[in-house]
Amino acid sequence: MDHSSAIITEVVEVEFPSVRLDRGDWLTLDLKTKVLTPTYKKVFVQDSISYDLQTGQVSNDCCYAEMWIIKNNPKYDYLHKEEKLTL
């Protein structure tokens, strides 16, 4: 098998808070999927989520609330902010 043409894809794992309903169920932030815990994780292809954050688009794999959390968490600044060197 020739590995010289292998493509390396970097991923980023992000943890989000769940939404708790009155009856005690937990849902993802898009309110579509039931989860079992107060938080849940999603894995994104780094290049794709970076592009979406930089252009202001909402990723197909992400809702507005999840995109807002990623964009406003300093932990993920490297995904959408340019590094500027000061001399």
pLDDT in tens, 62-77: 899 999 999 999 999 9
Does 28 score more than 80 pLDDT?
A: yes
Decide if 4 is inside a domain: no
Decide if 24 is inside a domain: yes
Structural domain span for residue 69: 11-79
pLDDT band per the 50, 70, 90 thresholds, residue 9: confident
SS (H, E, C) the chain: CCCCCCCCCCEEEEEEECEECCCCCEECCCCCCEECCCEEEEEEEHHHHHHHHHHCCCCCCCCHHHHHHHHHCHHHHHHCCCCCCCC
Does 2 score more than 70 pLDDT?
A: no
Decide if 1 is inside a domain: no
